[in-house]
A and B are shown apart, each in its own frame.
Chain A
């Protein structure tokens, strides 16, 4: 009898020790998981986020850009954008002062047609950055084709958990050299972005304000660009008339000289 009592105590103590060890391991797993963020598939997330602005392989849409200065609305610009794949973009300028102009992007090559010159003029990437909302903000919206993403962190923006991606330009046709991009964790929907030049200077920031569903595809409806150089300036981009279309390759010919 005296020999079984210590054995029983030992058994109970061993079991207790084992339970404490399991409990400790369990706690470590939970704590470490909370401390270490899950690294998302950044390339896949970026591609999915592009689908909110490029819902189909070939489509058209209208863009209205309203500039604001100290909160007061100013100039309004209108564009018709035709996009085919990730490399071909044709933008027709529809504002009264710019009617007849168009912009063509074929990969890294760009032309602008001015009715005064009656011919397409080759332009450089730097020439494309004009105005509060640049032509690149309108025409170049496929970030997966132009940027290499890397994961930075996960953080909350308002009530929304977001991945923060650092996008580095991988081609000279990219509008900005670097973008910090916030994507909603649950569905990779863009939430906000910061745009940087080659010098590292923050030039603009954007908030993706409103979305709507078109033919089953959630699409961006409204985007606000904030000028980080002149802080009282901003532009609101409103997208409408989004529709899939079969677009002929002739529309994207670099020598096209039709005024409209």
Chain B
């Protein structure tokens, strides 16, 4: 090689090597930060064999009935204590109970202890077994249900069971859960329920599967001394803001429920449901005549939780809804407002205003308005 070219060749090679270098060496400050991060170490906590969860709700509720057309007091006071407890031993055994202690003052003063739920559970692989009293809701509707064969009674003017007064059904239940599919077999006894509840011993099967975004359930069963039934229920989310749900049930005659939900970018949610049950003993409303035939109902609701965009309204939830009987054109309008105080307390206002002719389903309500105010403590 020509010696005169050696020096420039070496220089060129050095330039290429410099250009090929990757990340710079860490500076002293970032090295110190990295050392600081590594110094903060934490060992992962061991898995616990026993797990106890509990909650306690205490509610003081007062309801004022306006223009009460019955010889009853205008004010109804209720004081409720609702403890809930779940104990799990490893992932296999569980025991859960939810009680309702009620001190009621209306026509007289009485106290009562109700068992909302009390059941024992065993989990074995993909199988879950349960024995006791349990709240089960198979219906997908908010205000109504056609497929909720084991559901507690659903009141359209109080779809969320504001005071948690609903009780479960006594049953033995087995679930096989595998991925997005589940098969459930349940036998529910009506032995301990009041005769006025109109319940039967019920055997029911449910197959639930999530496929292509459809959460679908097929239900079949039989009421001892009553009807056999079949039902289909589904929910589906469309896009970012829409949800649709529906139920179809056959029990002597067909009952159909169709509903939808829409959420605006500002967080206001609208719900609408249409429900048409046959006027058979299972669906019959005491306010209706048995000869009234098939009924048609509409439920609409608008609500927003945490009005955070408005100054000083962040702790407020507001809701307005209405349920209407389209046959007799009667309806009840409902307004709810809740205000939270700190981490444990909240107060609420609940107003129901029925309207319609005196012979209509909602117009026959013996008051012009029911206003409830209450204070809730939760632990």
Q: Contact residues of A with B, CB < 8 Å?
A: 11, 15, 18-19, 22-23, 25-26, 29-30, 33, 38, 69, 75-76, 95-97, 99-100, 106, 108-111, 114-119, 122-127, 129-132, 159-160, 172, 185-187, 197-199, 210-215, 218, 221, 229-230, 233, 241-245, 248-250, 253-255, 257-260
Complex CA gap A189/B91 in Å reads 35
> A131's closest neighbor in chain B, by CB?
B306
Taken residue by residue from 98 to 124, chain B's Cβ proximity to chain A (1 for < 8 Å, 0 otherwise) reads as: 100000000000000000000000010
* CA A210 to CA B40, docked complex, whole Å: 10
Contact across chains for B96 and A258 when beta carbons are under 8 A apart = yes
Tell me the bound Cα distance from A159 to B41 in angstroms: 24
Selecting from B193-201, B257-265, B327-335, the interface stretch reads B257-265
Which residues of A lie under 8 Å from residue B225 when comparing CB positions? none
Tell whether, in the assembled complex, residue B30 and residue A160 are in contact, meaning their CB atoms are under 8 Å apart.
yes
A249 and B135 alpha carbons, distance in the complex (Å): 23
- Cα distance A3–B39 in the bound complex, in angstroms: 75
A132 touching B43 by the CB < 8 A rule? Answer: no
Looking at A29, A130, A248, A250, the one whose CB has the most chain B CB atoms below 10 A away is A250
Partner of B264, one of A96, A126, A253: A126
Instruction: Indicate whether B245 reaches chain A with its CB closer than 8 angstroms.
Output: yes
> B55 contacts A126, CB within 8 Å?
no
Q: Known contacts A33-B19, A127-B269, A214-B43; decide if A254 and B215 are in contact (CB<8 Å).
A: yes
Tell whether, in the assembled complex, residue A25 and residue B15 are in contact, meaning their CB atoms are under 8 Å apart. yes
Whether A26 and B15, one on each chain, are in contact in the complex, defined by CB atoms closer than 8 angstroms, is yes
> How far is the CB of A21 from the nearest CB of chain B, in Å?
8
Q: Is the CB of B346 within 8 A of A124?
A: no
* B182 interface residue (CB < 8 Å to A): yes
Contact size range, B: 35 or more
Chain A residues with Cβ below 8 Å from B281 are: none
The CA of A114 and the CA of B162, in the complex, are separated in Å by 12
The yes or no answer to B50 lying at the interface (CB within 8 A) is no
Contacts of A96 in B (CB 8 A): 55, 343-344, 378-379
Q: Are B210 and A106 in contact (CB under 8 A)?
A: yes
Q: Is the CB of A123 within 8 A of B210?
A: no
Flag if B343 contacts A76 (CB, 8 Å).
yes
Partner of B340, one of A15, A97, A125: A97
Q: Does A213 lie within 8 Å of B19, measured CB to CB? A: no
Minimum CB distance partner of B134 in chain A: A257
Q: List 23 A-B contacts (CB under 8 A).
A: A15-B4, A22-B8, A30-B15, A30-B18, A38-B22, A108-B213, A116-B160, A118-B135, A118-B137, A118-B152, A122-B237, A124-B241, A130-B305, A130-B306, A210-B40, A212-B41, A215-B44, A218-B38, A242-B42, A249-B177, A249-B179, A253-B180, A260-B88
Q: Is B128 in the interface zone, CB < 8 Å from A?
A: yes
B contacts, CB < 8 Å to A: 4, 7-8, 11-12, 14-16, 18-19, 22-23, 26-27, 29-30, 33-34, 37-38, 40-47, 53, 55, 84, 86, 88, 91, 94, 96, 98, 123, 126, 128, 135-140, 152, 159-162, 164, 166, 177-180, 182, 208, 210, 213, 215, 217, 235-237, 239-243, 245, 261, 263-265, 267, 269, 305-306, 308-309, 314, 340, 342-344, 346, 378-379
CB contact between B40 and one of A123, A172, A221 (< 8 Å): that residue: A221
**Across the interface, which residues of B come within 8 angstroms of A106, CB to CB?**
180, 210
Q: Can you add 9 more A-B contacts, CB < 8 Å, to A29-B16, A132-B308, A259-B96?
A: A38-B22, A122-B245, A131-B306, A198-B265, A210-B40, A243-B44, A255-B217, A258-B86, A259-B98
What are the 3 A-B residue pairs with the smallest beta carbon separation, nearest first? A243-B44, A119-B137, A260-B53
How many Å lie between the Cα of A172 and that of B43 in the bound state? Answer: 36
A residues in contact with B241, CB < 8 Å: 124-126
B136:A97 contact, CB within 8 angstroms: no
Docked CA distance A19–B43 (Å): 60
A256 to nearest B CB, angstroms? 8
A172 and B44 form a contact (CB under 8 A): no
Given known contacts A109-B237, A124-B263, A213-B38, is B309 in contact with A229 (CB within 8 Å)?
A: yes
Smallest Cβ distance from A252 to chain B, in angstroms? 9
Contact B305 A109 (CB under 8 A): no
Cβ 8 A contact of A250, one of B98, B128, B208, B243: B128
A19 in contact with B11 (CB, 8 Å): yes
Cβ contact within 8 Å between B160 and A114: yes
Residues of B within 8 A of A117 (CB): 137, 159-161
Which one, B33, B46, B137, contacts A257 given CB within 8 A? B137
Determine how close the nearest CB of chain A comes to the CB of B349; give it in whole angstroms: 17
Query: What is the bound-complex CA distance between A11 and B379, given in angstroms?
Result: 94
Chain B positions within 8 Å of A75 at CB level: 340, 342-343
